[in-house]
Amino acid sequence: MSFHSKITRAGGGRVKRALGVQAALEWAFRVEKAQLELPPPSDIEEEGFGFGLEYVLLQRAALGCKVDGGQHKIGGYVHEDAEVIAATLAGMPDNLGGKRMAIRVAELARAGLTPDWMPGAVPRCVPVDIKRNRHGDRATSEVVGTERVMIKGKWRSVEVRACPVRFSPDQRQIDSARQAYEDWWRALGWVRDGLIAGGMLREVEVKEAMPKKTPWEPR
C-alpha cells in the first residue's frame, strides 16, 4: 500500500498527508516503528476510549503540551502522530476485542498485511491421507469389511476398501477466517473514528476510507 496519498492543505499553511486508517496504522507501526503500550489492568471500567496512553495524550493536548517521542525508534525520532495513533489503538474497548485485538491490529500493520479471509476458498472433498511413492500420489484406503465373491468358479473372501475423506477447508474454517476479518474491520473503524474525533494529529489527516467490509461478497 502506498503512503504517497493525496495531500491536503490545512489552515495556517500546514500540509497534512491524507491516509485511510489502515495506511495510517501501517505508517505508524511499520515506518515510524511506534510501539503499542497497553494500559495496565484496572478495576475501573471506562467507556469509549480506553484509559492508558490515550488518556495521557488527551490530557497533554488539553494542557497544550507536545507529545514526546523518540524513545522507541532505534536511531531516530518516532513521529508524534505515530505515537497518538498507537496510543489510540491501545485503548481498544473490550467489546471490540480489547488488548488482544489491539495487538492483532498492530502486528498486521507492522507487517503490512490484511487478515487472511481465505479468498476463493470453498469446501473440497479430499482424501484424509496420501501415500507417495515413485509412481506418484495415491489416496490411502482402509478395510471396511469383507465380501464373498465368485472368482473363476470359486467363492472367495475379499476385502472391501474405502478411502476416508474430509472437507478442506471446511465451512467452519472459512466462516471463522471471515469473522476474524470483520472483527478487524470493526476495530479499524473504531480507531478511525477516534482519530478523526480527537483531532490530535498534526501532520496526518485520517480519511473516512476503509478496507472493504466483506470482500468475499460479489459486488
Q: What is the pLDDT of residues 93-141, one digit of tens each?
A: 999 999 999 999 999 999 999 999 999 888 888 888 888 888 878 888 8
C-alpha to C-alpha distance for 198 and 58, rounded to whole angstroms = 8
33 contact partners, CB below 8 Å, separation of at least 6: 72, 73, 74, 78
pLDDT band, very low/low/confident/very high, at 166 (cuts 50, 70, 90)? confident
- DSSP code of 217? S
Instruction: Using the predicted structure, report yes or no on whether residue 207 has a pLDDT greater than 80.
Output: yes
- pTM attached to this predicted model: 0.69
Q: What is the mean pLDDT of residues 213-217?
A: 94
β pairing state of 15-19 and 154-162: unpaired
- Residue 89 C-alpha cell reads as 489503538
pLDDT digits (tens, 9 = 90+) for 21-78: 999 999 999 999 999 887 666 554 444 444 344 454 554 454 444 444 444 455 568 8
Task: Collapse the DSSP code of 51 into the 3-class scheme (helix H, G, I; strand E, B; otherwise coil) and give the result.
Answer: coil
Q: What is the pLDDT of residue 68?
A: 45
186 contact partners, CB below 8 Å, separation of at least 6: 96
**Contact predicate 89/189, CB 8 Å:** no
Percent of the chain with pLDDT over 70: 76
Q: What is the mean pLDDT of residues 183-191?
A: 97
Percent of the chain with pLDDT over 90: 47
